[in-house]
Amino acid sequence: MQISRFRNNCGVTITELMVAVGVLGIIASVSAVMFTMGFRSWRQSYAQIEVQGDARKVLDLIERNLRQATASTVVISQTSGQPAYSKISFTKVNGDAMEFYQTNDKLYQKVDTNVNLLSNNVQNVLFSYPDTSDSYIVGISVTLQKSTYGGGAKTIQLSVEKVQIKNP
């Protein structure tokens, strides 16, 4: 009688099965962590892009209208209960009365009686005269923030710009 040198390997042993399950478990847990990190990174990048877009849009709109203002009509103040210097009002050369002001985390534009929401990610808006001897230059500082993943980290964009008023 001859003993066969090769056994019939039709199945797997319990040890092989346990090793395969362990390896798959490690791969699955590493994949989940990488997916979560990628998702958080994407959310933060998306929030940063949104905040930068808001900052650019807000500053461009304020600058464009402020350049057309009559310098003698510019008044920097605050809305009741809001940060100091967070409101600017002026009259444009064409006679439109304009205001830009912060209320909580929102920035509004008021043209005559029409009110438009410009951004709802505002942390702070500050209008100032950088050089007190020159009322034709107004400084604008806008700080925007947006919560990212799970209310945790925030993305913040600070933009500062000086605007020269063209009309006396």
Q: Which of 96, 100, 97, 91 is CA-nearest to residue 73?
A: 91
Question: Can you spell out the DSSP letters for 57-82?
Answer: HHHHHHHHHHHTBBGGG-EEE--TTS
The 10s digit of each residue's pLDDT in 88-123 is: 999 999 999 999 999 999 999 999 999 999 998 888
Q: Which of 168, 138, 139 is CA-nearest to residue 70?
A: 168
**Token digits for 73?**
């009509």
Query: Contact, 120 vs 106, CB < 8 A?
Result: yes
What is the rounded CA–CA span in Å between residue 125 and residue 159?
10
What is the rounded CA–CA span in Å between residue 138 and residue 48?
27
Q: What is the pTM of this model?
A: 0.76
**CA neighbours closer than 13 Å in the CB half-sphere of residue 140:** 25
The 10s digit of each residue's pLDDT in 2-29 is: 555 556 667 788 998 899 999 999 999 9
pLDDT at 6: 57
The 10s digit of each residue's pLDDT in 127-163 is: 999 888 888 999 999 988 887 766 665 667 777 888 8
